[in-house]
Amino acid sequence: MGDAAETMRLLLFVLAKDEESQLEKTVCGLQAACAPGSLAGMVLLLAPNATQGCRRVAEALQNADFRVAVEVVVQPSWDFPACVKSVLLDRQISHLLFVASDYYYESSAIADLIARAKECPGSIHRLSRTMPGGGFSSDYNAIEVLLYRLFCVFVRVLYGCRVTDPASAIAVVPERLFRLLKFRQGSLLIGAEWMFALLRSQAAPIVEIPAVTLPRAEGKGFSTVVSRLRYVPVAIRMRFIPLKNIWEEGAFRE
């Protein structure tokens, strides 16, 4: 276990669009909470339409004196997979973690997630809002949470799995499982396709850790709990199409 943990090289992506003070708080919190050696790098990945205020804060963070160097990358287009893959070129990275700006957790929860992943790097580790000990912030009303829990039950039945929070955006995943996926060009639900591909192929064991989201402090979120219902047709499509249409040749067998 010790040797495996030492060889894990995790690249943390912080996604942002219109956050300013929240972005600074997130980056500073993660830098302080994560144990020395936990991160191989931190990339602030800004949306193509990121606000000027968000860009100014990101540039200031890039110039700050952090233990882990911060790099700012502005997506040249909405082709998210291509942008991430270009960032990964010439880097020796074993795992990826994307921290979505519209689901904010305590930095300690993400630091714990990373620590758990280092203990067993062969698995996928993700935060869960729906398992015992997890929960949603006051940003979500009871009807939204109920609809999302019903969606979770639907996915578990469809895929025959035990994952409690299939749309969780916070996960430490082996880099090859991002690189080998055939992302559909122009798809607006890249994250959903990736999550369901992992469930379908059983590419690696999935370990869930309970966590509670915090109320969003500023900016407008990329999505809401109810908007996750758009994932239903994606979940059905990814469940039944051949694996050869999901992964690069030879990655996984039927």
146: nearest Cα among 222, 216, 214, 226 = 226
| DSSP 8-class letter at 138 | T
Domains and CATH numbers, the chain: 2-245 (3.90.550.10)
Give the least confident one: 48-52, 101-105, 230-234. Answer: 101-105
**Orientation of helix 21-33 relative to helix 52-63, angle to 10°:** 30
pLDDT value at residue 2: 43
Place of tokens 């609809």: 147
Q: How many helices (H) and strands (E) does the chain have?
A: 9, 7
Residues 6+ apart with CB under 8 A from 173: 95, 96, 97, 124, 198, 204
Residue 6 or 156, more confident = 156
Instruction: Tell if the pTM clears 0.75, that is, is over it.
Output: yes
pLDDT value at residue 51: 95
Task: With beta carbons less than 8 A apart as the criterion, state whether 178 and 194 touch.
Answer: yes
Q: Report residue 212: phi and psi, to 5°.
A: -115, 130
Integer Cα distance of 215 and 136 in angstroms: 9
pLDDT at 91 over 80: yes
Q: What is the pLDDT of residues 215-231, one digit of tens each?
A: 766 555 555 555 667 88
Q: Would you put residue 90 in left (φ > 0), alpha (ψ -120 to 50) or beta?
A: left
